[in-house]
Amino acid sequence: MENGDLEVLCCFCGQDSIFNKAIEITIECDKKTKDVQAVYAHSKCLDKVLHKSVPRAFDL
């Protein structure tokens, strides 16, 4: 199994996704130290939670 086939959890619906298909969302927890946390999401779940006025740069 290659890394791209790893299962990741969608942070919005809690269901499994595949690393290569999931959108990686980086949260900058601390602006000074640049500490980041990465979470994953289905594109359709991210689309659902973003306000309609926010442009989408990702494929659905």
User: Exactly one of 13, 18, 25, 49 binds Zn ion (CB under 5 A); which one?
Assistant: 13
- Judged by beta carbon, residue 16 or residue 35, the one nearer Zn ion is 16
- Judged by beta carbon, residue 14 or residue 55, the one nearer Zn ion is 14
- Judged by beta carbon, residue 12 or residue 19, the one nearer Zn ion is 12
Angstrom CA distances, 46 to 28, 40, 52, stand at: 18, 10, 11
d(CA 2, CA 7): 11
For position 10 contacting Zn ion by CB under 5 A, the verdict is yes
Q: Hey, which residues between 17 and 36 contact Zn ion (CB under 5 A)?
A: none
